[in-house]
Structure 1
């Protein structure tokens, strides 16, 4: 049988030590001191919109954020916080191609994306829209394209934004006063897929001059995701432009520098086509190969890209190429503002485009 030990008389020193322990247990917790906030010595520069003249209105409809937005939430401040400039320098644009990755996985990725193309391609996105027209779509995208550039976002994010927007328009009628909110919501959804640091909701709402609330944007985001069944990884023009560029370099048709310059110019042409509703009838791979072919023509590349790479009908290729030529002819001045200076100097319009 276990019996308790007899209590031994405690010494005064032991009682003192025990009392000190109890005092420490009953002592209030010490509040940790916060680190001092680093305040910016100089105010951030406000967004300075650059009005780009153009006959078609694709690039001259850019509006700056409302005066109610502070500098910390401006796109310029956001791009600076990520360590990137709103307009990338030519050295950043002429990044080295990952040819080894292309040799290992290029054809498999292309075949997979090409098979998905028809599933993610929206047809007649404005057919069910009583209030949204091709003109209002052009105005919205003409506003979103410079905004995405000022945020320092990738071209892939822009292509996904347009795809998300058009696919949602095929499913749900949208009121005219909510169309801008749909645009920034599509941009947010696209950036969450691609960008490491997507824009904050507060920044996007500031671009709308406080016309919408945070709850409205979050609710619309849930509606868009539900209507699209969370199928968001669409093949884009950006992917096919990169694939065709790597394929022609791997085949030894052009030098790396020439191929990258043509890709940048083709990206600028494709950027113009995103705002034009007439080009929504073409799948991204067809648009990409035609933009690349037109870029080769404008840069006078000795060995232009083969239009048969995408395996599209000849009639569709020629029709798309003719419309792109007209688009570039109308917006040639705007295109020079989009492109880096070194490419603009090499660019020459053929007599058929003037």
Structure 2
């Protein structure tokens, strides 16, 4: 597990002095929306009609889209360089106001491509912004423009290089891009517990926001690539419930994962939060930071 390093985002106006995800906080805004701004109202009727069938379909796709040992074939790309790249991409995605779904798809595209093709160290940043562009084209109404992404790389790459790499990535992934993400499963588990009447809507949304923050930290850490998104999502939500002292915490059995895998993931998430507590406070709304303990003790 790694502490995320401070990274400067070109043009952000922040030197990243406190954390790699501090650029938005330095501008006086919370990167993650507050509960009254997020999912208001929950579309529970849509969930009642299609939620379980959609969940079953996405859950069945996990193994197909889950990259295993993505760095095994990479002589020049290490877990540390992956962490550095994603610690840079995280504030970049926030600077553009992109969704958490876009970030999750970016990481999935990046890791899946790494399982197929050795990447030179001097092209790794280009791969990162290419993966971000591909992800944004899927889910964002207004994806970043190519010239904006190239500007973030300080002119190190040309438009033609990015477009060529985009074609290579799409070919290597066989244009199979709609991966199930942590974002999707967090949304599903949140709606499921609200529909079941286990928690108040406000409590569920606060837990979801905190869980997203924890999940965001995990995306940059190679140690968490061994876990499928649904397992990571339920563990992030369970940890968020504990930190917020939610009276009726989420049932870990919802994802139907082995107990040993759940406990192992929870322990690693606990350590990740302890190491990166400062970074986490920078990406959470102030009211949630005040409510939660950033030194959770799992029992």
- TM-score w.r.t. the length of structure 1 is 0.76
| Deviations 1:13-51 (CA, angstroms, capped at 9, x unpaired) | xxxxxxxxxxxxxxxxxxxxxxxxxxxxxxx99999997
* Conserved? CA contact 2:74–2:119, under 8 Å: yes
Contact 1:73 1:202 in 2 (8 A): no
Q: 1:80 aligns with which of 3, 14, 25?
A: 25
Unaligned stretches of 5+ residues in structure 2 = none
In structure 2, do the counterparts of structure 1 residues 333 and 69 end up closer, same or farther at CA, with 3 Å as the change threshold? Answer: closer
Q: Write the deviation string for residues 307-343 of structure 1: whole angstroms up to 9, x where unpaired.
A: 0000000000000000000000001111011000111
Q: Secondary structure at the match of 1:92?
A: coil
1:70–1:143 distance in 2 versus 1, CA, 3 Å: closer
Question: Given that residues 128 and 173 in structure 1 are in contact (C-alpha distance below 8 angstroms), is that contact kept between their aligned partners in structure 2?
Answer: yes
CA deviations 1:41-77 (Å, max 9, x no partner) are xxx999999979xxxxxxxxxxxx2699999999999
Structure 1 equivalent of residue 215 of structure 2: 270
- Does structure 1 conserve the Cα–Cα contact (< 8 Å) formed by 2:83 and 2:222? yes
Question: Counterparts of 1:135 and 1:48 in 2: how far apart (Å)?
Answer: 10
* Equivalent position of 2:123 in the other structure: 178
Q: How many Å apart are 1:195 and its aligned residue? A: 0.1
Residue 252 (1) aligns with residue 209 (2): no
2:232 is aligned, of 287, 291, 307, to: 287
CA contact (8 A) 1:241 1:263 kept: yes
Higher relative contact order (CA 8 A, sep 6+): 2
Answer whether contact 2:7 2:88 (CA < 8 A) is retained.
Answer: no
Q: 1:192 to 1:84 in 2, by over 3 A?
A: farther
1:165: Cα distance to partner?
0.1
Contact 2:8 2:15 (C-alpha < 8 Å) held by counterparts: no
Q: Is the 8 A contact 1:128 1:169 kept in 2?
A: yes
Q: Give the secondary-structure state (helix, strand or coil) at the position aligned to 1:225.
A: helix
Shift of 1:352: 2.7
CA distance in 2, matches of 1:198, 1:74: 25
Structure with the greater alpha carbon radius of gyration: 1
Instruction: Name stretches of at least 5 consecutive residues in structure 1 with no aligned partner.
Output: 1-43, 53-64
CA RMSD in angstroms comes to 5.5
In the superposition, relative to structure 1, how do residues 135 and 83 fare at CA in structure 2: closer, same or farther (>3 Å)? closer
Deviation, 1:187, is 0.1
User: When the two structures are aligned, how many residues end up with a matched partner?
Assistant: 299
Deviations 1:181-208 (A, max 9, x none): 0000000000000000000000000000
Task: Say if 2:7 is the partner of 1:50.
Answer: yes
**TM-superposed deviation, 1:96:** 1.8
Question: Please, what TM-score do these two structures have when normalized by structure 2?
Answer: 0.90
